[in-house]
Structure 1
Amino acid sequence: MTAQTPTTTDVTGGEPAAREPGVRQLPARFRDVVAAEWIKHRSLRSTWIAYGATALAVVGVNAGTAYDTYSHWTERTSRDRASFIADGIPLQEAFTANGALLMALALGAIGAVVIVGEFSTGSVRTTFAAVPDRRAVMAAKAVVVAVVTTLFGVVVSGVSFAVTQAILERRDAGVFLGEPGALRVVLASALLAPVCALAGLALGAVVRHTAATLIITVVVVLVLPLFLTDGRRWSAVAGHTLPYKAWLRLVDIHYAPPAYPWSTGGAWTVYAVWACAAVVLAVVGVHRRDQ
């Protein structure tokens, strides 16, 4: 009888791993990798605490703005009240700029922690040992993050709209979802969440240090939009490439073209490009860096 000798199989980005004699290692199916990443994502209590705290904070900020309007409504003249509705201010209070910045920062951090946490604890080695195809792992993480944060954005944006308009309606100043531009405000605010979360995931996959990743996220989401203004052409064009600036354009229903205007189609394109580029950077970056 001829003795069987152990065989090996190459592990992408690592050393060849020993394999049991006669056992053929099958590549993991992508749906199984996605399922595994979903289990990891939902099993972290801190993740859901972060989601819950962010949701409460964002809805609270928006509702607080609407309540401030409600409480001081009687101090307005009849002309001011009419202008408030005619100028589309109820839709601005449905999801405020402060609420959008807060959600963008929080979701960027959550997206980064999804991968940085595994690198910092070393558990990513176990993940890559189980699934040597790093690109499949990162693609699965991106799918889970995109789906969960999109649902999160839809819920937060929808609840915020309902709560703020219910408060304003007590002064006959609220609007309904069928109002022109209302659905765009809700959708743009909802999709800001997955765009920022995927950007955070990509930064975390490349940088791999929690503090550095969070600093870069703050710079991209908060500092650059404040630094880049519409006063100069180069500054306006650069600002038009940022997700937060795109959100501002999409929720501006009564858009008054500035010196360097842009379209809602351009703003939606910025959303799509950032999401797709983030996924590509996360998938390709991890694969190439560990070779």
Structure 2
Amino acid sequence: MAYTSPLPTPRPHLGHAIASEWTKMASVRSTVLTLGSLVLLVVGIGLAAVSQTSGENFRGTPYTAPALFGLLVGQLAVMVLGVLTMTSEHGTGLIRTTFTAAPDRHRVLTAKYLVVAGVSFVAIAASVTFVALAGAIVHHRPDAGPHDIPRELLGGLAGSFYVTLLGVLALAVGALVRHSAGGIAVMIGVVTVPPFTGGMLSMWEATQPVGSALIRYNSPVALMQLFGLPDADTGSIPPAWVHFALLFLVTGAAVAGSYLAVGRRDV
């Protein structure tokens, strides 16, 4: 006679996978430290910038600008978080246990994407909003000029979403390469190499078009556009939606590749 458990056995669903991934993220020291460094960088550098500026510095400049200074560095922490969410399990061998307990690999990967995206966006948006409100409280005086604070906060949220997409892209890269150092190196290259390479290629006439494109299409420029920072030559900088579309295409392709790779590989 077959054994029948007296305990209810509900069918596993995405909610269970999300709860599992959240538990793993909250219990692993490296991910907690990575999130802490993100908040510390954005808030710390942002408040330092607020304390060293005056109201005149914000004439024509949004109150979210100090948060951008920290986010340009803090985005590296988001990318590290995305990579480690996948590669740490490969490094320890826990990925075999995960896929044994939850055979639906696509569900597990979806849960990882949702948890990383949700946690990253909340942490970034809260940090940016805190710094922006601090700047508004300290410097909202007549010499700062008129400010549309809700619109500036909306730009900060758009920038937060952009960096969140970088974290999602990092997770996809981690799923593809399955190596922490390799995944982090790829993401650092994606963010930091284009501006420097563009500057060097712009020195020669033959490669100037490529160099100019790399200078105009990169993460720091995209964030400055989204945060609404003034630019001396706005005609040459693509609008914010172009940067979003480009990142969506790259991230979408990487995510699709990660689903194919995770579904077909042994682990």
Sort the TM-score into its range (normalised by shorter chain). 0.7 to 0.9
Which structure 2 residue ranges, 5 or more long, are not aligned? Answer: 203-207
Q: Is the 8 A contact 1:195 1:274 kept in 2?
A: no
Cα pair distance change 1:207/1:175, threshold 3 Å = farther
The structure that is helix-richer by fraction is: 2
Provide the C-alpha distance between the structure 2 equivalents of 1:92 and 1:183, rounded to a whole number of angstroms: 7
Cα shift at 1:279: 2.7
Pair 1:105 & 2:76 matched: yes
Distance 1:155 1:55 in 2: 9
Greater Rg, structure 1 or structure 2?
Answer: 1
Structure-1 separation of matches of 2:236 and 2:145: 32
Verify the 8 A CA contact 1:107 1:194 in the aligned structure 2. yes
Q: Cα deviations across residues 157-213 of structure 1 (Å, max 9, x unaligned)?
A: 11121123333337953875x348513431133213311211211111111222222
Matches within 5 A, 1:1-291: 28-70=12-54, 81=56, 84-86=57-59, 88-91=60-63, 93-96=65-68, 98-169=69-140, 173=144, 178-179=148-149, 181-229=151-199, 232-257=208-233, 260-290=236-266
Q: Which runs of 5+ in 1 are unaligned?
A: 5-19, 74-80
RMSD between aligned alpha carbons? 3.2
2-side partners of 1:281 and 1:68: how far apart? 45
SS at match of 1:47: helix
Deviations 1:61-109, CA, capped at 9 Å, x for gaps: 1221221124xx7xxxxxxx3xx444x234463323x312212111000
Identity %: 27
Letter in 1 for 2:40: L
Other structure's SS at 1:276 match: helix
Q: Which shifted more, 249-258 or 61-70? A: 249-258
Summarize the Cα distance change of 1:123–1:110 in structure 2 as closer, same or farther, 3 Å threshold. same
Q: Deviations over 1:141-163 (max 9, x none)?
A: 11111111111121111112112
What is the count of residue pairs matched by the alignment? 258
Q: From the superposition, tell whether residues 285 and 228 of structure 1 become closer, same or farther in structure 2 (CA, over 3 Å).
A: farther
